[in-house]
A and B are shown apart, each in its own frame.
Chain A
Amino acid sequence: MTDKFISIEAIAKRYPGAGGATTTVFENLWLSMARGEFCCVIGHSGCGKTTVLNILAGLDAPSEGAVIVDGQAISGTSLDRAVIFQSHALLPWRTVLGNVAYAVSSKWRNWDRVKVRAHAQTFIDLVGLTGSEHKHPSELSGGMKQRVGIARALSITPKMMLMDEPFSALDALTRGTLQDEVRRICLETGQTAFMITHDVDEAIYLADKIFLMTNGPGAVLAEVVENPLPRDRGRTDLHRHPLYYALRNHIIDFLVTRSKTFAAETPGHDPRNVPLVHIGKPGLSIASNEEQRQTWISGTSPGLTA
């Protein structure tokens, strides 16, 4: 990891609890991403995933630590970091075009109406909503609403996209289509993306790197799993890749058992040097640069999964 486009450095989030006590959601969390990388965070509810995303977005401030994006510490929200909300968060009194144009005119305040509309239209076309520009969100299906959310996020040509379970409220078919779209758009535009998901298959299909977080409170980033699948992976033959099930089993094992026991089993865990896990043949695995934590999973595991 030479190019640290995004670097989260020792952030903590604490809330005042009852009776003067403080609840620590997580502390001393380090995380970095390279430019153009697609990263997914997986972890159980309550581990602070959304808090990390909100801190990255600038909607929430960390109690300690800093976030550095492109060499600069962030403070507050920025048009460089677009957010795709889980609940799409479209303004219901605006049309599809109005919602996207609102973002465009927020970024380029001196653009005239025609230019704003033309720019917004480009992104509406990109997400395949041509013809629905003048509909209101209430007239759209869940998948179409989320497409508008994606178009709105992309239209401001951000440096990175932050997605908080963007497809969790959608049916399986729509989710698949939108995953394809997001993957295509991110590859085409070279977007850096940070996505929270509960869906292991979604993470495997989309991510270059998968961050595994343990259960909260006091959650830690346990591992960074590098996706061994080729970048030009396709949805249909994903599961035929020899390492697919090894990767999937590794993540599911983590979610089912290790996310609870990780802290007890790994006393020497260094949050600054989180083990980078390569899934592959024995001998190819590389652990963190500090300590050799051998984590390899055979590439020939049977096709049945948990």
Chain B
Amino acid sequence: MMTTSSLRLRAGLVSIALLAAFLGIWHLATRSTAPVATMSPEYAKLMGLTATQGKSAMPGPLDVGAKLWQHLKRPFYDNGPNDKGLGIQLAYSIARVGTGYLLAVLVAIPLGFLIGMSPLLSKALDPFIQVLKPISPLAWMPLALYTIKDSSISAIFVIFICSIWPMLLNTVFGVASVRKEWVNVARTLEVGTVRRAFTVILPAAAPTILTGMRISIGIAWLVIVAAEMLVGGTGVGYFVWNEWNNLSITNVIIAILLIGIVGMLLDQILARFTRMVTFPE
């Protein structure tokens, strides 16, 4: 106990030191060092700070921190289509991921159960799954836009199609590899198929299914940023692209940071669910 807590403490100290070193190097690398050209005041007005004050175009950690603080103070403001608070943009992204992901759960888990319990279906559907699985979810986008004719729903469809495969394959694997002896216990107790599915196969396969769900949420969060860059309008992916067009590298960095944090939180939530259904043997 003593050693684990001290290990944790030491690891924490190293983490803080690494962060401090990174911020320090970042700060030093983006200091104003470039020579300031002499120019007429009219011309200087047209030029950016890089030219007039020798300031680096890449924001330093202090600029990012200040801007982040502004965003955190007003996360939900809405000044029209191209100027919404980061909270609103993240909420749009999370809502899209949540919808597409839940639809995928509703399809993948029952379907995976069927395929896992039926060797016939498993063999029959295998070629389709093998072909569909490696398709980049964004490749579906034009097809989705053409058939659905709604960019927001198309984005949800892309999330659905990218998060379905890990869940489906893990459910099939988990269901098919439930220990024979547990199934035999249910058989000797004359437990019917439906009750057996819920009382033996589901709990036995749950850790594997949840692992698939955890992989899926990670992929869904990766894909939403790219999808929103394509469909535009709202969401954190659109925010990144919009700020790049505004040449606001500070906002881009902030968005990158927040995408990472939200992704981590989503993963942690699924990790907690996985722990809840995992049983020690």
Contacts and interface: CB of A to CB of B under 8 A. Distances in A.
A82 B203 contact: no
A24 interface: no
Nearest to A86: B181
Interface centre among B179, B186, B188, B191 (most CB of A within 10 A): B188
Contacts of A212: none
Contacts of B279: 92-93, 136, 138
Contact of B280 (A77, A81, A92, A107): A92
Interface string B72-87: 0000000000000000
A78 B187 CA distance: 8
B190 interface: yes
Contacts of B185: 83, 85, 89, 91
B208 to A, nearest CB: 13
Contacts, number: 56
A102 interface: yes
A156 B280 contact: no
A165 B209 CA distance: 34
B189 interface: yes
Nearest to A80: B190
A104 to B, nearest CB: 10
B188 A58 contact: yes
A58 B184 CA distance: 10
A91 B199 CA distance: 10
A121 to B, nearest CB: 18
A89 B190 CA distance: 16
Contact of B184 (A83, A102, A156): A83
B184 A79 contact: no
Given A85-B184, A138-B281, A93 B189 contact: no
Interface in B178-202: 179, 181-182, 184-191, 199-200
A77 B190 contact: yes
Interface centre among A57, A77, A79, A137 (most CB of B within 10 A): A77
A106 B190 contact: yes
Nearest to B191: A106
A87 B189 contact: no
A82 B203 CA distance: 23
A79 B181 contact: no
A85 B184 CA distance: 9
Interface string A131-174: 00000111000000000000000001000000000000000000
Interface size on A, as a range, is: 20 to 34
Given A93-B203, A136-B279, A87 B188 contact: no
A224 interface: no
B203 A59 contact: no
A103 interface: yes
Contacts of A57: 188
A79 B189 contact: yes
Given A83-B184, A91-B182, A138 B190 contact: no
A87 B181 contact: yes
B177 to A, nearest CB: 15
Contacts of B277: 93
A131 B191 CA distance: 28
Interface string A46-57: 000000000001
A230 B130 CA distance: 66
A136 to B, nearest CB: 7
B187 A77 contact: yes
A92 B281 contact: yes
Given A91-B200, A91-B203, A106 B189 contact: yes
A187 B112 CA distance: 48
Nearest to B190: A79
Nearest to B189: A106
A176 to B, nearest CB: 25
Interface in B252-279: 277, 279
A3 to B, nearest CB: 25
A241 to B, nearest CB: 36
B280 A82 contact: no
Nearest to A54: B184
A235 to B, nearest CB: 30
Interface centre among A92, A106, A136 (most CB of B within 10 A): A106
Given A77-B187, A79-B188, A79-B189, 17 more contacts: A57-B188, A59-B184, A59-B187, A78-B188, A82-B188, A83-B184, A85-B184, A89-B182, A91-B200, A92-B280, A92-B281, A93-B204, A93-B277, A102-B189, A102-B199, A106-B191, A137-B281
14 contacts: A59-B184, A59-B187, A77-B188, A77-B189, A78-B188, A78-B190, A79-B190, A82-B188, A89-B181, A89-B182, A93-B204, A93-B279, A106-B189, A137-B281
Interface of B: 179, 181-182, 184-191, 199-200, 203-204, 277, 279-281
